Amino acid sequence: MKLTSFKGRLLFALITLIFLVLIGLGIIIGELVKSYYLNALHSRIEKEMNIVINQTEQEPSFGELRSVLFDELSEVLETRITILTEDTDVVYDSGQAVSDIDHNQMMTEINGSLPDPDDGIVRFPADDSNFYYISSVETGSESGYVVLAASFDNLEEVYRQIWLILAITLGAAMGMIIYIGARITNQYTKPIESATEVAIQLAKGNYKARTFEDRADETGMLSNAINILARNLQEMVSEQSVQQDRLRTLIENMGSGLIMIDKQGYIVLVNRPFLNFFHSRIEDVLNESYVDVFKNVQVNELAEEVFLTEQRVRKQILIEETFPHKHLEVYGAPIIGERSAWQGIVLVFHDISELKKLEQMRKDFVANVSHEVKTPITSIKGFTETLLDGAMHDQGALESFLSIIAKESDRLQMLIQDLLELSRVEQQGFKLSLEQVDLADILQDVSVMMGRKASKKNARVRLDIGKPLIIEGDADRLKQVFINLVTNAITYSYSDQDVIIRSKKEKDHIQLQFIDHGIGMEKEELSRIFERFYRVDKARSRNSGGTGLGLAIVKHIIEVHKGEIRVESEPEKGTVFTITLPIHMNK
């Protein structure tokens, strides 16, 4: 197939476009140059006008003008200078003719439209190349006008030279562009002809056809694209196989269970997460009726609803056939093919067991907070009403009830403070005041502070630590952690049993152990002690004045320090809390 006509049309269109652009550009440039040249001439004449005005204003009066001086100015400036009184009487005229214009006739026209003093210099064109400039002037106490006549005889010649230069320049450019355009057009259409021949061969089924790739420009890119197309057609079957493998990998590892059912109700696709959710084998599911596969009534009902309504359906179900029980969110949708052809349905199973667990924890937290707040408020309200009913007149009852009210108020205040503290440490933007701190010094202070509390049980807080124990951390927060752990150890220890704090320094971390010999905990309780409001011995914990939030705060502070805390305990033997803290926070 030849592209000669296409090449000719392309070259003609290119030349025509460039010719029109050059013509338009030449006209614009010519007009701009003319305008610039003429404005420059007017600016020069106005400057000369100002010279004449200044000289006129230096004269004592119109009657004493120095004609010789103005004759010289007229000759030097090559202009005709005429000075008029306020009554348009001519007091001076250089008489130098600057053109063939009838000077008297122009003066008559100018006298009919003399400018005001505020108008400045006013220009009157006599024709295209002759101009009169007039301005008001004051000499002594007299007012008058200065008229300057100038002729631009060479203006037409300048215009002709401008157009000649532009025509020669644009003509040369046009010739060069035509030559280059012809070469470029021929150079680019040959590869297109070759690519066209190869495309025709590909359309006939000859995928071995190739074109030469001997250029690095757009035509080379076209040839390369044609060759790539040919190779892609040869590799289509294998590429489809690769895409199917990728799709299978995506389906198998998507994290949610997926099952596809055809319009007859048979399962045609299932992924591994679905099999794990229902503890099934693929041979027991694939190509089987969904009614026989799904033992859960809710899943069957959801699939039937999608089949009947052809609408998307979303439900949450509980799978009790598995252990532990799973909460699943099932999303069902119809599969509609081309031309609205019904293909079947797809079901996606999302495991929301963790979300349900978190929701239950939230509900438990709200219930616990309500209970913890309600108890002291009920006590305060009850004893207050008793006092108001007359018990305040009994001094003993008054003191006893007020003591209880104060104690419950302190307990309520402690609960609120712990809640606020826990909220602060759990915030995403919670920051520590990091510095180099010696844990040995902090533990020494805590030992002294808690000594009195321990002495009430005839016990001590013993330190078995090395020095120094320097890490990067927040001293106040770490002290808060140690006080909480030592307080718990003393509270749950038996009388005459010391609380022991031990340290172990490794290369990049420090380990601390808080050991007590008290009531201990059962193994199943260890996983819950860091939950909010959880108490091992609820009655004893509440009587000890605790809020049940201390260990939750401790855990968050340690985690913010990039450390970890774990607990070991045996009933009636005691408990050991082990804290591991990095020496440097950035490691």
How far is 199 from 38, CA to CA, in rounded Å?
Answer: 62
- Per-residue pLDDT at 127: 74
Longest dimension (CA), the chain: 135
C-beta atoms surrounding 167 within 10 Å: 12
Nearest to 144 by CA among 172, 177, 111: 111
Backbone angles phi, psi at 79, to 5 degrees: -135, 165
- Contact 139/146 with Cβ under 8 angstroms? no
- Which residue in this structure is represented by tokens 């002291």? 376
Name the residue among 569, 559, 568 with its Cα closest to residue 578: 568
Read off φ and ψ for residue 583, nearest 5 degrees: -70, -35
Helices 67-77, 4-57: crossing angle, 10 deg rounding = 170
Please give the pLDDT value at position 510. Answer: 92
**Strand pairing report for 130-139 and 470-473:** unpaired
- What's the chain's length in residues? 587
130-139 β-sheet, strand order: 90-93, 80-85, 142-151, 130-139, 122-125
User: Is the preceding peptide bond at 324 cis, omega within 30 degrees of 0?
Assistant: yes
d(CA 66, CA 46): 22
**Structure tokens of 12?**
């003609």
Helix axes of 155-203 and 218-234: crossing angle, nearest 10 degrees = 10
DSSP secondary structure, 479-521, as one string: HHHHHHHHHHHHHHBPTT--EEEEEEE-SSEEEEEEEE-BS--
Q: Which residues of the chain have pLDDT under 50?
A: 1-3, 539-543
Provide DSSP, 200-256: HHHHTT-TT-------SSHHHHHHHHHHHHHHHHHTHHHHHHHHHHHHHHHHHTSSS
Identity of the amino acid at 466? G
Asked if 84 and 56 count as a contact pair (C-beta separation under 8 A), the reply is no
Tell me the domains of the chain and their CATH numbers: 4-157 (3.30.450.20), 250-351 (3.30.450.20), 356-425 (1.10.287.130), 432-582 (3.30.565.10)
pLDDT score at 541: 47
Give one DSSP letter per residue of 331-362, joined into a string.
EEEEEE-GGG-EEEEEEEEEE-HHHHHHHHHH
Beta strands in 263-405 (DSSP E): 267-270, 313-319, 326-336, 342-351
Taking a C-beta distance cutoff of 8 angstroms, is the pair 569, 521 a contact?
Answer: yes
Token look-up 């609380």 returns 499
Tell me the C-alpha distance between 7 and 198, whole Å.
Answer: 19
Residue 315 in 3-state DSSP? strand
What angle in degrees, to the nearest 10, is found between the helix axes of 218-234 and 236-252?
A: 70
- Please give the Cα distance from 353 to 361 (Å, whole number): 12
pLDDT of residue 550: 75
Beta pairing class for 499-505 and 461-464: parallel
Residues with Cβ within 8 Å of 449's Cβ and at least 6 positions away in sequence, in order, are: 483
510 near 469, Cβ under 8 Å? yes
Report the pLDDT value the prediction gives residue 577, as an integer from 0 to 100: 93
Element (H, E) at 173: helix 155-203
pTM of the model: 0.42
Quick: pLDDT tens for 183-239.
777 766 777 777 777 778 777 767 677 777 666 666 677 777 777 777 787 777 567
According to DSSP, the residues that pair with 318 across neighbouring strands are: 327
SS3 call for 136: strand
Residue tagged 């590869």 (tokens): 191
User: Please, which residues have CB within 8 angstroms of residue 575's CB and are 6 or more apart in sequence?
Assistant: 489, 492, 515, 516, 518, 520, 521, 567, 568, 569
Task: Classify each residue of 134-152 as buried b or exposed e, where b means 16 or more C-beta atoms within 10 Å of its C-beta.
Answer: bbbbebeeeebbbbbbbbb
